[in-house]
């Protein structure tokens, strides 16, 4: 036993990472939490505690607490659909490591800012309680595009059965339901103002979240919604933010590498590139962690940063993911090492995206472009193309179709953005790479997309028309544009030849 506890939980009897085992781990090999996690109290609720949050906001929050000498910015993380993060972290006293890979990688860091993990689907009442806790002043979100449950028009999807159940007063299982029920309790309990900070890759993520909260309120009985709307107007803020860090899915090799450093079994390991960035709209209802002391930037103009990041980085990521996966490249780095794809990636950013951007004053756009490509080329990250390829129906509108619409409106045909869209169409339709290996279609609209692809099978014209008519993705306008349709058909024909 270590520290008086049984240590039989590692696969090869290696003790599990915990407060007591970490105390005994050999110093020097890793960076321990900069604030004592035992003394940390919860001040932030985070909805969607996946790998990204653990490698991003949780790190910023811990560094900020340390820099400001605060012990009240611990995080209560909520895992929405699967209890696995809770099972990974709770037996470890919330501790986990961040393993940086690539040039400039810092030593392994053990993070202690996550103090509690709640399972949303299993215990929705606990989530509402935490959001209503007066000690909580900030709720952050990384619930991915589909977690917002928007309909075609971008409003709260009231035809979604879980949204309907939440509106009917069931213990809330959707993100917006959890937030509104939590706010309702805060208002009733005079728990004080709170900031809801979306960190998802959406255009105007703060406004999106505010709109959905109001859609939910509007669907409640007037006696409930009226007073709550007033309280929200007075006491809640919805800043937008742009987050950036590449965080591939953790593998057994990653866990083994961490074990070699700590000599402990850590089931909560997350892997990340050295780079991390966070630009946040400075609009808070109450106190917030001093994230600026940890390198975050507060600004009044997040929109410009956000579109640069979504249209340059995420769009190019998707282009490399679909084209790369089709050609049998496992990783983004391998896709970028393919000269033709590297050329397409550069051309997308230079020819199609750049003319649409309003660039923040302090940003050197060509430097940014080079840096994005360098980050993608990081050979140590092993970020899989099929991981970036998932949820295409949710991602394309945000990353690529804004560029497409802006260029079409300017009278230009965005050939490279269309190439990315065409590659997605072929990825959906073929489901196999050049070597015959299966490509997973992991997407909330998978069934619809498969049906649309089947209806257009064998002919580029029909395939393009059939998929372009998926209105959730392309709206009513894009199928009407002959120039865009033609260039898609041209690309699809070449990609399937
Ligand atoms: C990626 C993003 O999986 C994806 O779709 O494009 O997760 C990307 O790695 C991050 O947004 C980088 O900040």
Q: For residue 226, give Cα distances in angstroms to 189, 217, 218, 221.
A: 17, 8, 9, 8
Residue 201 Cβ inside 6 Å of ligand 1? The answer reads yes
* DSSP-derived secondary structure letter, 173: -
Compute the distance from residue 427 Cα to the ligand 1 centre, in Å. Answer: 18
* DSSP-derived secondary structure letter, 30: S
Tell me the pairing of strands 277-281 and 297-299: parallel
- The answer to ipTM > 0.90 is yes
Q: Which atom of ligand 1 is nearest to the CA of 243?
A: 13
Q: pLDDT value at position 81?
A: 85
Compute the distance from residue 280 Cα to the ligand 1 centre, in Å. Answer: 18
Which three-class secondary structure state does DSSP give residue 88? helix
Q: For residue 171, give Cα distances in angstroms to 168, 174, 181, 222.
A: 9, 9, 9, 20
Q: How many CB atoms within 10 Å of residue 366?
A: 10
Nearest CA to ligand 1 atom 8: 246
Residue 316 Cβ inside 6 Å of ligand 1? The answer reads no
Compute the distance from residue 55 Cα to the ligand 1 centre, in Å. Answer: 13
Q: For residue 320, give Cα distances in angstroms to 271, 341, 362, 466.
A: 21, 7, 28, 24
Q: Please name the residue that has the structure tokens 């106190």.
A: 287
Residue 245 Cβ inside 6 Å of ligand 1? The answer reads yes
Length of the chain: 497
pLDDT (tens place) for every residue of the chain, 497 residues total: 333 344 445 556 899 999 999 999 988 899 999 999 999 999 999 999 999 999 999 999 999 999 999 999 999 999 998 999 999 999 999 999 999 999 999 999 999 999 999 999 999 999 999 999 999 999 999 999 999 999 989 999 999 999 999 999 999 999 999 999 999 999 999 999 999 999 999 999 999 999 999 999 999 999 889 899 999 999 999 999 999 999 999 999 999 999 999 999 999 999 999 999 999 999 999 999 999 999 999 999 999 999 999 999 999 999 999 999 999 999 999 999 999 999 999 999 999 999 999 999 999 999 999 999 999 999 999 999 999 999 999 999 999 999 999 999 999 999 999 999 999 999 999 999 999 999 999 999 999 999 999 999 999 999 999 999 999 999 999 999 999 999 999 999 999 98
Q: pLDDT value at position 327?
A: 98
Enumerate residues 6+ apart whose C-beta is below 8 A from 165: 173
Q: Specify whether the CB–CB gap between 264 and 22 falls below 8 A.
A: yes
Whole-structure pTM value: 0.95
Q: Specify whether the CB–CB gap between 307 and 358 falls below 8 A.
A: yes
Q: Can you tell me the distance from the alpha carbon of 137 to that of 455, in angstroms, rounded to the nearest whole number? A: 50
Q: Can you tell me the distance from the alpha carbon of 411 to that of 182, in angstroms, rounded to the nearest whole number? A: 47
Tokens of 351: 């020819």
Compute the distance from residue 314 Cα to the ligand 1 centre, in Å. Answer: 6
* Cα distance from N-terminal residue to C-terminal residue, the chain: 63
Q: How many CB atoms within 10 Å of residue 419?
A: 25
Residue 244 Cβ inside 6 Å of ligand 1? The answer reads yes
Q: pLDDT value at position 5?
A: 42
Q: Please name the residue that has the structure tokens 């949303």.
A: 120
Nearest CA to ligand 1 atom 9: 246
Compute the distance from residue 241 Cα to the ligand 1 centre, in Å. Answer: 15
Tokens of 430: 């073929």
Which residues are registered as beta bridge partners of 197? 140
């Amino acid at each position: 036993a270590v520290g008086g506890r049984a240590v039989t939980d590692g696969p090869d009897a290696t003790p599990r990472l915990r407060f007591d085992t970490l105390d005994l781990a050999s110093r020097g090999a890793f960076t321990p939490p900069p604030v004592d996690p035992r003394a940390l109290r919860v001040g932030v609720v985070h909805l969607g505690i996946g790998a990204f949050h653990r490698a991003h906001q949780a790190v910023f929050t811990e560094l900020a607490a340390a820099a400001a000498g605060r012990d009240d910015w611990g995080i209560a993380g909520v895992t929405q659909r699967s209890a696995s993060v809770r099972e990974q972290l709770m037996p470890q006293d919330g501790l986990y490591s961040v393993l940086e890979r690539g040039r400039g990688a810092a030593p392994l860091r053990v993070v202690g800012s996550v103090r509690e993990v709640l399972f949303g689907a299993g215990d929705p009442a606990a989530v509402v309680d935490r959001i209503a806790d007066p000690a909580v002043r900030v709720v952050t979100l990384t619930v991915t595009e589909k977690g917002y449950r928007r309909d075609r028009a971008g409003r709260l999807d009231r035809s979604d059965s879980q949204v309907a159940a939440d509106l009917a007063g069931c213990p809330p299982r959707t993100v917006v339901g959890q937030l509104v029920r939590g706010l309702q309790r805060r208002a009733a309990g005079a728990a004080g103002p709170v900031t809801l900070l979306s960190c998802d890759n959406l255009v105007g993520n703060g406004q999106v979240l505010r709109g959905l909260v109001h859609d939910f309120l509007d669907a409640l009985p007037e006696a409930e919604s009226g007073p709550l709307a007033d309280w929200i107007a007075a006491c809640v803020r919805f800043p937008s933010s742009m987050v950036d860090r590449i965080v591939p899915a953790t593998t057994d090799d990653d866990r083994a590498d961490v074990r070699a450093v700590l000599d402990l079994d850590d089931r909560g390991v997350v892997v990340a590139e050295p780079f991390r960035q966070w630009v946040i709209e400075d609009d808070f209802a109450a106190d917030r962690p001093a994230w600026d002391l940890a390198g975050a930037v507060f600004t009044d103009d997040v929109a410009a940063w956000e579109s640069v990041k979504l249209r340059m980085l995420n769009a190019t990521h998707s282009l490399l993911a679909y084209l790369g996966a089709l050609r049998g490249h496992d990783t983004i780095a391998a896709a970028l090492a393919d000269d033709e794809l590297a050329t397409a990636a550069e051309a997308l950013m230079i020819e199609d995206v750049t003319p649409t951007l309003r660039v923040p004053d302090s940003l050197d756009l060509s430097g940014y472009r080079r840096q994005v490509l360098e980050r993608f080329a990081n050979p140590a990250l092993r970020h899989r193309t099929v991981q970036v390829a998932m949820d295409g129906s949710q991602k394309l509108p945000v990353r690529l179709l804004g560029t497409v619409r802006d260029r079409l409106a300017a009278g230009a045909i965005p050939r490279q953005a269309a190439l990315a869209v065409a590659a997605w169409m072929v990825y959906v339709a073929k489901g196999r790479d050049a070597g015959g290996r299966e490509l997973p279609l992991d997407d909330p609209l998978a069934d619809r997309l498969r049906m649309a692809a089947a209806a257009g099978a064998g002919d580029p014209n029909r395939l393009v028309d059939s998929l372009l008519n998926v209105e959730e993705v392309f709206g009513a306008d894009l199928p009407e544009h002959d120039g865009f349709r033609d260039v898609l058909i041209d690309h699809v024909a070449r990609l399937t030849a």
